[in-house]
């Protein structure tokens, strides 16, 4: 499961969005283990292919892929210095795959802004600064150690010392680690640093209820887009309040509601889709009489590792994968039809999985 952490200044709409997420998750299915932690919400990844597959396979159940959102409220100015519960929140961010940064782009005199005005650029910089300061602190100790090693004649420390200096430089410019590129050797080192500013970011521009249809005219949204473009991040425009309303609707009502607003999908669905894209994730399926199920893997994953997502035994004992594309499966009304036409392939351990593959793994136990 993909884990995304929701951050942002107070009063930007994080809780509203998070409540929409948990509500949507509660509507979609039962995840009893989730209700234990009030800061975690799980949503299903919308994928119309699952229904199509189910029409042909008639499984006992359909199991979509899921994304887990963690509400990391409390990240305020001074968090890296331990202001409020700052440090605790920063450690939560270390554990997520991606950061969803909610930015206030709506004016509402009833809702105070902590800094007194709406200014997405300033707000983004405020949050970024805390993350950068935290990263600076975590490389400080490491930097002292590797400098010592280098002085003692450890040649291997050279690369690390240079890398850490490069990181310090960008941090001092007020930029995150994600603005740099790294060699393979540096990648290995950087993995161990668990830097906050290396995590992919998705900006959520939270706009007014009436602001969804003309986001091009919204100067606040434009500011967010410019910042995102400069760092290769993505932007999703939502109205958190509307999302909260949508999350309470049944599927068919939801469609009508969205049509009335002139929208193709809810902000939440868009958020999930873009998160997938941001992280380079894709889906493959298993389809049998027990269940039709979506599995999440990184693009470029090979067949044995994909099998390992289902069960480690599948990877260890991997023999072959029986693979058919989603299109071939659907056009031929299922596996047998596709097999009759010779469209089911036997693939080996070097096969790179494709989006929508329907797979049956053969393995030794």
Q: Which residue ranges make up the annotated binding site?
A: 11-16
Does residue 16 touch ligand GDP according to CB under 6 A? yes
Structure tokens at 54: 């189910």
Angle formed at CA 297 by CA 291 and CA 302, multiple of 5 degrees:
105
User: Which residue lies nearer to ligand GDP by CB, 8 or 308?
Assistant: 8
Tally helices (H) and strands (E) across the chain: 14, 12
Judged by DSSP in three states, 349 sits in: coil
Selected binder of ligand GDP within 2, 5, 7, 14 (CB under 6 A)? 14
Beta strands in the chain (DSSP E): 2-7, 40-44, 61-63, 66-71, 98-104, 201-206, 234-238, 281-287, 291-298, 318-324, 345-347, 358-363
Structure tokens at 255: 């469609």
CB of 118 to ligand GDP, least distance (A): 11
Does residue 108 touch ligand GDP according to CB under 6 A? yes
User: Which residue lies nearer to ligand GDP by CB, 10 or 337?
Assistant: 10
Q: What burial class does residue 339 get, using C-beta atoms within 10 Å of its C-beta: 0-12 exposed, 13-18 middle, 19+ buried?
A: middle
User: Which residue lies nearer to ligand GDP by CB, 16 or 286?
Assistant: 16
Q: Which stretch binds ligand GDP (CB under 6 A): 4-12, 58-66, 184-192, 284-292?
A: 4-12
Q: What burial class does residue 343 get, using C-beta atoms within 10 Å of its C-beta: 0-12 exposed, 13-18 middle, 19+ buried?
A: middle
Q: Which stretch binds ligand GDP (CB under 6 A): 91-99, 213-221, 222-230, 237-245?
A: 237-245
Does residue 8 touch ligand GDP according to CB under 6 A? yes
> What whole-number distance in Å separates Cα of residue 144 and Cα of residue 142?
5
Question: Pattern 123-162, binding to ligand GDP, x per CB under 6 A?
Answer: ----------------------------------------
Does residue 215 touch ligand GDP according to CB under 6 A? no
| DSSP H or E stretch at residue 229 | helix 219-230
User: Which residue lies nearer to ligand GDP by CB, 7 or 132?
Assistant: 7
Does residue 111 touch ligand GDP according to CB under 6 A? yes
Question: Pattern 60-79, binding to ligand GDP, x per CB under 6 A?
Answer: -------------x------
**Annotated binding-site members for ATP:** 11-16
The answer to whether 186 touches 84, Cβ cutoff 8 Å, is no
Does residue 266 touch ligand GDP according to CB under 6 A? no
Does residue 206 touch ligand GDP according to CB under 6 A? yes
CA 357 to chain centre: 22
Kindly report the length of the chain: 365
User: Which residue lies nearer to ligand GDP by CB, 70 or 164?
Assistant: 70
Q: Which stretch binds ligand GDP (CB under 6 A): 76-84, 203-211, 341-349, 350-358?
A: 203-211
DSSP 125: H
> What whole-number distance in Å separates Cα of residue 196 and Cα of residue 178?
9
Does residue 118 touch ligand GDP according to CB under 6 A? no
Q: Which stretch binds ligand GDP (CB under 6 A): 39-47, 48-56, 218-226, 238-246?
A: 238-246
User: Which residue lies nearer to ligand GDP by CB, 11 or 138?
Assistant: 11
User: Which residue lies nearer to ligand GDP by CB, 185 or 210?
Assistant: 210
Cα dihedral 301, 268, 135, 153, rounded to 10, equals 0
Give Cβ neighbours of residue 269 (< 8 Å, ≥ 6 apart).
46
Does residue 112 touch ligand GDP according to CB under 6 A? no
Question: What does the binding site for ligand GDP look like in residue numbers (CB under 6 A)?
Answer: 8, 10-16, 73, 106, 108, 111, 206, 208-209, 239-241
């Amino acid at each position: 499961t993909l884990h995304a952490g929701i951050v942002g200044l107070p009063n930007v709409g994080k809780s509203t969005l998070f409540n929409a997420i948990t509500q949507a998750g509660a509507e979609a299915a039962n995840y009893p283990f989730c209700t234990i932690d009030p800061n975690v919400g799980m949503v299903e990844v919308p994928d119309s292919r699952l229904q199509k597959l189910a029409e042909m396979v008639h499984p006992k159940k359909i199991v979509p892929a899921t994304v887990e959102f963690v509400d990391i409220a409390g990240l305020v100015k001074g968090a890296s210095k331990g202001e409020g519960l700052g440090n605790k929140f920063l450690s939560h961010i270390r554990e997520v795959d991606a950061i969803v940064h909610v930015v206030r782009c709506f004016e509402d005199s009833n809702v105070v802004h902590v800094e007194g005005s709406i200014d997405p650029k300033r707000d983004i910089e405020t949050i970024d600064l805390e993350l950068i300061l935290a990263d600076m602190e975590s490389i400080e100790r490491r930097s002292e150690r590797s400098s010592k090693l280098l002085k003692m004649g450890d040649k291997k420390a050279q690369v690390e010392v240079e890398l850490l200096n490069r990181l310090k430089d960008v941090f001092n410019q007020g930029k995150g680690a994600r603005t740099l590129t790294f060699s393979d050797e540096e990648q290995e080192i950087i993995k161990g640093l668990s830097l906050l500013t290396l995590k992919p970011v998705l900006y959520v521009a939270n706009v007014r209820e009436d602001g969804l249809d003309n986001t091009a005219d919204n100067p606040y949204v434009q500011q967010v887009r410019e910042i995102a473009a400069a760092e290769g991040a993505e932007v999703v425009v939502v109205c958190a309040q509307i999302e909260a309303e949508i999350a309470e609707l049944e599927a068919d009502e939801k469609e009508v509601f969205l049509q009335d607003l002139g929208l193709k999908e809810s902000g939440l669905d868009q958020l999930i889709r873009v998160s997938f894209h941001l992280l380079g994730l894709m889906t493959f399926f298993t389809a049998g009489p027990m269940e039709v199920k979506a599995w999440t893997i990184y693009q470029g994953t090979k067949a044995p590792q994909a099998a390992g997502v289902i069960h480690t035994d599948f990877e260890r004992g991997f023999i072959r994968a029986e693979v058919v594309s989603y299109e071939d499966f659907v056009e031929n009304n299922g596996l047998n039809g596709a097999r009759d036409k010779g469209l089911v392939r036997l693939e080996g351990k070097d096969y790179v999985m494709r989006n929508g593959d329907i797979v049956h793994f053969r393995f030794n136990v």
